Every structure is written in structure tokens, then in C-alpha cells.
Chains A and B, each alone.
Chain A
Amino acid sequence: MRFVDEFRDSEKARALAAKIAGLCEPGRQYKLMEVCGGHTHTIYKHGLEDYLPEQITLVHGPGCPVCVIPMGRVDDAMALAAGPDVIMTSFGDMMRVPGSNGSFFDAKARGTDIRMVYSPLDSLKVARQNPDKRVVFMAIGFETTAPSTAMTMLRAAAEGLTNFSIFCNHVTIVPAIKAILDSPDLRLDGFIGPGHVSTVIGCRPYEFIAADYGKPVVVAGFEPLDILQSIYMLMLQLSQGRSVVENQYSRVVPWDGNVVALRAIGQTMELRPYFEWRGLGFISHSALKVSADFAAFDAELLFDVPGVRVADPKACQCGEVLKGVLKPWECKVFGTACTPETPIGTCMVSPEGACAAYYNYGRLTRTRVSEASRT
């Protein structure tokens, strides 16, 4: 395990932590969920939980795009990739995600033409250079990456490309948050809202969390001080009995999001009636598919996709970790059978996954956190 670095503003962090501690009601336990995997990474990397009073527990949410892909979709992608004349293209993050017959990397080693790309636009280039092949882009991610896929489809349509398609696995964050709010397993007090997703969707989509569920939401930046500042803002609201959406990351996130990006998504994609999330099960209207107008680019229509549902490996408890019910180290295979080198579950694959973040920067807070989680 690596040592956790002291970050440059640790004095400021201590001052903020003291203000946060001053807002805790005696005897009350607080559970705050950071939705985004990038925040989870910062929290573990800098050991932010150690700055917080014991009454506050940070619960890690489902905002890791690679983590929530169900095994069945990985298998579907493998089946697509194995088709005649197909070149599958994928972000690097996706390459190690295990399906029931190994990962993209394993399939590539067995001779399947799977290529890593940085951008869907690189995938488009592969299509231009290989007119006799059928190039599929494995599209994954929340609203942060969906606009890129949308813009790429618009570009492909403008160029009249006929050998390029999208295997669309884009998911939307708000229905997942709602599913967690409706889950009986977990009582949360507030949310550290995702940063980059909010650059696209803005802050309004979270208003129901404050209005209907009475939980404060603070959209946060990615630096340690951003997260501590957001926790302070949440605690201030809780101490005053308020619940509204606030934007700590206004230097990057506009309140109304990126209208051009939302328009591009609206032009090329539509909501699925339901979609399976790893660990969270089927969630209504929680994912995007290629819209009817762009059917010519929809790999699900162009290819025979098996669409078989595959249960997660029994030993893996990613579902509970994604819902925040279990801490990574409470999973039976954490750090033993399941490591970043040989991941069983998705949460160990992505650097944004809670398990990988905890594994890489493991903190000596287990006892304290398990005590706090008991309530």
C-alpha cells in the first residue's frame, strides 16, 4: 500500500474540519454519500475521513461508469466484437472489466479485433480507415461522456459513414440516486453531488432530492478542500434544518449545465424504459439508447446481440458497495481473491471504483467507520 500524501492545504483542511465538527449535534450520526467515483478517489487518496469527526461517515455512491456495467452487457459486447469483419473499439477503462468469459483484454489476446481508443472520434477514424470493416464503439459512461458519443454520431451522419455504429451503454445518474433514496437499506443525510456530470446536466435535476426527500445536495469539485468545503455546506444546511441544492463547484459547473451537450444527447439518444445496473438491478428510465432517427448507427439493431442476463459472481459484493451498504473491505473477497490485478468485481477495476481506491490508498479507519456504520 502507498503512503497517503499530506496535501498542500492541510492547514486549511484542519480549520474546515473544526468548523464541521462544530456543526455536529451531540449524539447524532451523519451519513453523507459522495455520488461520484472521482470524489471517492480524492477521499481515499487524501484520507479525508481522518479529518472528519467520528459522527460523520462518508458513503460511496454508484458514480463509477465502469463499475455499474452489468456482466451481461460485457458478454453482449464480446459477442458483437467476435462477429465477422467487426472491429470493436473501447476506452481503456473498459478493457479489464470481466464478463463471464473474461475481459476485452482476454478476448484481444485470443485474436478478437478490439482496439483501445481515447475518444469516440478516434473510433470514427478507425471506421474511415477500414471501409471494409464494421467498426463498433463501446459507449459507456454517465452524462459526462454521453455528449461525446452524441457528437460523434452527428459527425458520422454528416459524413455519411455506413460502417460505424455505437453499442450504447450510457447511463443517467439521477434515477440511480433516486433508487438509492428509495432503497430501505440505507438512511442518508445528504449528498456530495457529482462534479463533471453536473457540468453537462447542471444543478436543477437534483432539486427533487432536496424538495421531495428533504436531503441537502452540494455539487462539489475534486480537490480535497472542495470536498471538505462541500461537507461543511451540507452540515450547515443540516444544522439549520434546511435542504436545498448548492453549487460549491460554480467555477466549472454552470447552474443550467451545457445546453449544447444536452441538445446533442436529445438529438441522437432516447431513454430506455429500463436498464440493468450492476448490483442495483433494473432501474426505470436510467439509461440511453440510440434514438430511432439514428438507427443506422445502433449496433443493437445492426447486430445480433444475445442480451442474456448474467448473474454477478456469488463472491462479489459490488452491488452492496455501489449502494453504499458495504464498505469495500467488508466484502469477503476484497484484497484476497479480488485485487486490481485480478479483479472479480467492477469496483476493483476502475481507478474510480471504491474498492480500487481503498485498495490503493488503504486507510486505517476500518474500526472507526464500522463503528459509525452500525447505527
Chain B
Amino acid sequence: MCLGIPGEVIEFLPDQPDLARVDVSGVRRVINIGLLSDEPPVPGDWVLIHVGFALSKIDEEEAASALAFLEGIGQAYEDELTALAESRIE
């Protein structure tokens, strides 16, 4: 829950400007990007995601190192990914 997980923005949802589809380690899910409304991301940008909300934009290098860190911590990240995979935000 406290983990910030990096995801790449794939596309925005038509009719729902606050929602975007992201790719997190191969899992594609919908998240809310409303907290970045001051500086909205574009497809291809990386964001740090907390409980279904993008909290900050990050560069690709930071995303890669955050991912390496998360993969290193093991179980807690797997639990987070499992929870994300079950998420159906709309």
C-alpha cells in the first residue's frame, strides 16, 4: 500500500479525462491521474503510482531503478502487483 510503483502511461480513457491506462511490469490497468492535473502526463511518460493514483511524474531512468528496487524487495511487491491486477478502476 505504501509502495510507489512505476507505470508507463499508455493512453487516456475516452470520456474520462482523469483516468489513464498504464503498464506496470506488463500488467495493464486503469489509474487516476487527477493529482497530476497541474502538469498532465502524456502517453509514454512514467508515473509513480500509489493505490491507484499517479502521485508524481518520473523519468525513465528513475522508473527503471524504482522497478529494480521493487523487484528486489520480493513479496511485498508481488502482493502489490497481485492487488493491482485485481483492480478494476472505472
Chain A residues in contact with chain B, CB under 8 A?
5, 7-8, 37-38, 41-42, 45, 64-66, 91-94, 116-122, 125, 140-141, 144-145, 147-148, 151, 196, 199-200, 222-223, 251-254, 258-261, 264, 351-352
Contacts and interface: CB of A to CB of B under 8 A. Distances in A.
B71 to A, nearest CB: 11
Contact of A5 (B35, B50, B72): B72
Contact of B55 (A7, A125, A200, A352): A200
A148 B53 contact: yes
Contact of B50 (A122, A148, A351): A148
A63 B72 CA distance: 21
Query: Which one of B2, B73, B86 has the highest number of Cβ atoms from chain A below 10 Å of its Cβ?
Result: B2
A125 B2 contact: no
B38 A260 contact: yes
A145 B51 contact: yes
Interface in B6-36: 31-32, 34-36
B1 A91 contact: yes
Nearest to B66: A222
Interface string B46-79: 0010111101101100100110110011011001
A116 B84 CA distance: 11
Contact of A196 (B52, B55, B75, B87): B55
B8 to A, nearest CB: 16
A19 to B, nearest CB: 21
Given A252-B62, A351-B75, A199 B53 contact: no
Contacts of B41: none
A326 B45 CA distance: 43
B53 A119 contact: yes
A196 B50 contact: yes
Given A151-B32, A258-B56, A119 B51 contact: yes
24 contacts: A5-B72, A41-B76, A65-B1, A91-B51, A92-B83, A116-B83, A118-B51, A118-B84, A119-B53, A119-B87, A122-B88, A125-B88, A125-B90, A141-B1, A147-B55, A199-B4, A199-B56, A222-B66, A223-B65, A252-B58, A258-B55, A260-B36, A260-B38, A351-B76
Interface of B: 1-4, 31-32, 34-38, 48, 50-53, 55-56, 58-59, 62, 65-66, 68-69, 72-73, 75-76, 79, 83-84, 86-90
Contacts of B72: 5, 7, 45
Contact of A93 (B1, B34, B53): B1
B73 to A, nearest CB: 6
Given A118-B51, A122-B87, A352-B2, 11 more contacts: A5-B72, A93-B2, A116-B83, A119-B52, A119-B89, A125-B89, A141-B2, A148-B32, A199-B55, A223-B65, A264-B35
Contacts of A145: 1-2, 50-51
Given A7-B72, A125-B88, A118 B52 contact: yes
B25 to A, nearest CB: 14
A145 B49 CA distance: 10
B69 A223 contact: yes
B32 to A, nearest CB: 6
A116 B80 CA distance: 12
A176 to B, nearest CB: 15
Contacts of B55: 144, 147, 196, 199-200, 258, 261
Contact of A92 (B4, B52, B59, B79): B79
